[in-house]
Amino acid sequence: MIETFLRAAHRRPACKTIKAIVQKPAWVAYFIFAPAGILSATHRFTLARLKDTGLPLLVVCACPDVHRIPADLPGYCDALLWKGMAGHDFSAYTLALREICKHSPGANVIVQNDSVFGPFTDLRKISENSRWDLTGFTASGQMTNHIQSYAFCLKQVDQIKMARLSPVFFPVFAFSDPQAVVYLQEIRMARVAARSMKVGALWFSDIKQVLDPTLVRPMELLEAGFPYLKRSLITKHKSYMERERVFERLERYGHPLDI
């Protein structure tokens, strides 16, 4: 682990506040990767659904330059942060959570990246009713038991909580190597959090039965109230399911198909 850190760590990416965070009891933080400075149809659908929750929406947008932020993005969100292209999703999560604990301490935060379609169900209930301090939507036993990091909920975000989570949400360093992010951040997040808070997940995957339910049993998860479909089902993990089934389900939810 130390070798991976020394090889892959770099300074956290540049960032700038475009629309300031204000004190609220809860936030949704959504990370958008927009290297061309353009919002996709999927981004627009997700932004609209997140606004429908009634929760204030913070967007962290990664693009090459602060002036390349999509022109209409500020109209979708209550707060907006720009970050540079370096760093993976955890660099955006760290930025969002640390800014929230500065300007809206004590807020409950649902964090989501743009690797998923959705949400297709109301996230507000998760923010309000979860019995854990850190709630994963799914947890996997692959490699080790861990919360999958495409989306999670963290309650009462403040300086103390972020200090306790600093071995995962590094205040100074970030990683652009996906493997380093997995080994140093994703699979360690629940373990580090469990030292000082209650941790759980809404769905758990026993790898003896299902390697990853978001890929192997996505439709069953949706029927059980799971709010997302992984975008990788039509890209790098397309072998898990017929593309037509994914598009049929997206169409049922009113999701645009020009993706």
The predicted structure's pLDDT at residue 67: 95
Residue 1 has pLDDT above 90, yes or no: no
Q: Which tokens belong to 122?
A: 């109301």
Q: Cα–Cα distance between 105 and 29 in angstroms, integer?
A: 14
What is the H or E stretch that residue 217 is in?
none
Residue 209: the pLDDT is 77
- Percent above pLDDT 90 for the chain: 88
For residue 25, the cross-strand partners are none
Q: Half-sphere exposure of residue 97, counting CA atoms within 13 Å on the CB side?
A: 31
Higher pLDDT, 9 or 209: 9
Non-local (6+) Cβ contacts of 166 within 8 A are none
Question: Which CATH code, of 3.40.462, 2.60.40, 3.30.930, 3.90.550, is assigned to 2-211?
Answer: 3.90.550
Q: Please, which residues bridge with residue 105 across strands?
A: none
What does 40-86 look like in DSSP terms, one character per residue?
-HHHHHHHHHHHHTTS-EEEEEE-SSGGGS-TTGGGG-SEEEEE-S-
How does residue 160 score in pLDDT terms, banded at 50, 70 and 90? very high
Tens digits of residue pLDDT in 81-101? 999 999 999 999 999 999 999
* Span 201-255, pLDDT tens digits: 999 877 777 788 899 999 999 999 999 999 999 999 999 999 999 999 999 999 9
Q: Which sequence spans correspond to the domains of the chain?
A: 2-211
CA 93 to chain centre: 7
Say if residue 42's pLDDT is above 80. yes
> Once rounded to an integer, what is the mean pLDDT over residues 42-68?
97
For the chain, the maximum distance between any two Cα atoms, rounded to a whole number of angstroms, is: 48
CA distance 203 to 224: 10
| pLDDT average, residue stretch 118-141 | 91
- Looking at residue 220, its pLDDT comes to 95
Segments of the chain assigned E as strands = 9-11, 15-19, 26-33, 57-62, 79-83, 107-112, 116-117, 134-140, 146-147, 151-157, 173-175, 199-205, 229-230
* pLDDT range class, residue 32, cuts 50, 70, 90: very high
Partners of residue 9 on adjacent β-strands: 175
pLDDT score for 128: 84
pLDDT band (50, 70, 90) for residue 141: confident
With tokens 């602060």, the residue in question is 66
Model pLDDT for residues 171-203, shown as the tens digit of each residue = 999 999 999 999 999 999 999 999 999 999 999
